[in-house]
Amino acid sequence: MTNAVILSAGQGKRLKPFTDDRPKCLVPVNGRPVLDWQLSALADAGVTHATVITGFGAGSVEAFTNINAAPLSVECVYNPFYAVSDNIGTLWIARNYLTGNSLLINGDTLIDPRIIRKVIAEATAPVTVTIDHKEQYDSDDMKVRCNGTDLSAIGKTLEAPVDGESIGLIRLQKDGADILRQTLDNVLRTPDGLRLWYLSVIDTLAKQNRVGTVSITGLPWAEIDFPADLTKASKIIQQFRWNNTLRSLTKHDIAQERQHD
């Protein structure tokens, strides 16, 4: 069994006005919230449990998962510090829910179930970052530099040449969770710790040759940061492929289908 931890504490201010009264993870794409697509993809890939780290609009996220989590077992954990720290604080809240058989997912990433299956099957390092490739990268991309399949650096400010970008999906296995927790503690003890992205922890581990990569080039995914990303994501979702139709539906959808049988 693989456990998934979804970092969904932020409001997503760059996505306003869609996030004026709801967290980014509940913004709809093709009529369904981002979180709903994530839970469906995890279930379709065989994941059975997910922990959602909440912050802004926590009550709305909890209410949603109470109704729409099936067939996963889902729990919500509140990050009371979401407004005063960057997402490294959300990772701190998540640390005790990460095991040696976990997936760590950004709350604004839509992922085809085939990507999750590929990462679970191919990741071999204790910590593995999922990467994609394209011809050009912009200032908002979480760029990576690699040495073969090993990660050597990750960050938005990496200068060319770079070897790809992180899609916001990390696989932990063996002692990966322990390694991540210890390094997280060390990074947070630095003067600027609370102002850092959580991927600063991954960058620290990469410089110690402790992080691998899995490339998913050719498989569809989307990151949602700005209003224009919603239109792009709507088209990308249509390329997703599901193994189990019921797992690609919400509990409400399933109930509606049964009423028509």
pLDDT in tens, 207-218: 999 999 999 999
CB-CB contact of 11 with 108 (8 Å): no
CATH code linked to domain 3-260? 3.90.550.10
Higher pLDDT, 130 or 138: 130
| pLDDT over threshold 80, residue 254 | no
Q: How confident is the model at residue 85 (pLDDT cuts 50, 70, 90)?
A: confident
Structure tokens at 230: 């919603």
DSSP 8-state secondary structure symbol assigned to residue 158:
P
Confidence at residue 9, expressed as pLDDT on a 0 to 100 scale: 92
Q: Where are the domains of the chain?
A: 3-260
Question: What torsion, rounded to 10 degrees, do the Cα atoms 109, 160, 200, 108 define?
Answer: -10
Confidence at residue 251, expressed as pLDDT on a 0 to 100 scale: 47
Mean of pLDDT over the chain: 89
Predicted model pTM:
0.90
Residue found by looking up tokens 């997280």 in the block: 184
On the 0-12 / 13-18 / 19+ scale of CB atoms within 10 A, 78 is: middle
Confidence at residue 245, expressed as pLDDT on a 0 to 100 scale: 52
User: Among residues 69, 52, 111, 91, which one has the least CA distance to residue 204?
Assistant: 91
| pLDDT over threshold 70, residue 225 | yes
Higher pLDDT, 249 or 184: 184
Contacting residues for 241 by C-beta, under 8 A, at least 6 apart: 112, 113, 114
Confidence at residue 257, expressed as pLDDT on a 0 to 100 scale: 39
Cα–Cα dist 246/254, whole Å = 7
